[in-house]
Amino acid sequence: MPILFGTIASSNQQARADTGVMFPLGMVQVGSGGSSSISFTSIPSTYKHLQIRGISRGTSGSFDQIYAQINSDTGANYANHALYGDGSSAGVLAGANNTSFSIGANSGSTQSTGIFGAIVIDILDYANTNKFKTIRALSGADGNGSGYAWFASGLWRSTSAITSIKLERLVSGSNNPFVQYTQFALYGIK
């Protein structure tokens, strides 16, 4: 069932909705044991763009990065850059020939209990087999009086249609699991 302007559309609205409509494709919520990664698989190629919306928190650190891999590609086929800040300082990040996207930041164990970061990821022209794939992401988290904002964009150097997306949280190259109640939802956009 499509989502129109923040509401669930009835079946008669679906017939007249042709562009800008978001269709829920899947949702993952982490259970009590935590999860080292979250994946969306078997993504249909029938939409123009994809969007992922999520809230997340990790088990250590403060504002650690969320990474994404496409179609299980672990090769050095990703490039990205980001702008980030915490209210008192700002920074930039850039990289080429990486093995994943660095797409955002989320809350960690040094934030107050129950504080989750939020992220929105747009994946443009994901099924187009004539061009490389681009993403943009906006994320942020409250830090109990401080906070963190992160804006990223990236490139996956492949013309393959995207059929799966894996998200994970890394700290100094090591996996740092998502905690219970972290959730991500995938939408297709007409």
Which residue is it, tokens 């990223």?
152
Average confidence score pLDDT of the chain: 86
**pLDDT value at residue 32:** 92
| pLDDT tens figures, 34-78 | 898 999 999 999 999 999 999 998 877 767 788 999 999 999 999
Contact 62, 53 (CB under 8 A): no
| Whether pLDDT at 151 is above 90 | yes
**pLDDT value at residue 111:** 76
Q: Which of 172, 186, 188, 165 is nearest to 37 (CA)?
A: 165
| pLDDT tens figures, 169-188 | 765 556 678 889 999 999 99
**pLDDT value at residue 171:** 59
Specify which residues 139 forms β-bridges with.
Answer: 119, 150
Start-to-end Cα distance in the chain = 13
Q: Render the burial of 42-78: b for 16+ CB within 10 Å, e for the rest.
A: ebeeebeebbbebbbbbeebbbbbbbbbbbebeeebb
| Whether pLDDT at 103 is above 60 | yes
**pLDDT value at residue 121:** 96
Contact 170, 176 (CB under 8 A): yes
- Greatest Cα pair distance in the chain: 50
Q: Higher model confidence: residue 101 or residue 43?
A: 43
The predicted model scores a pTM of: 0.86
Q: Higher model confidence: residue 175 or residue 8?
A: 175
Distance CA 138, CA 38 (A): 18
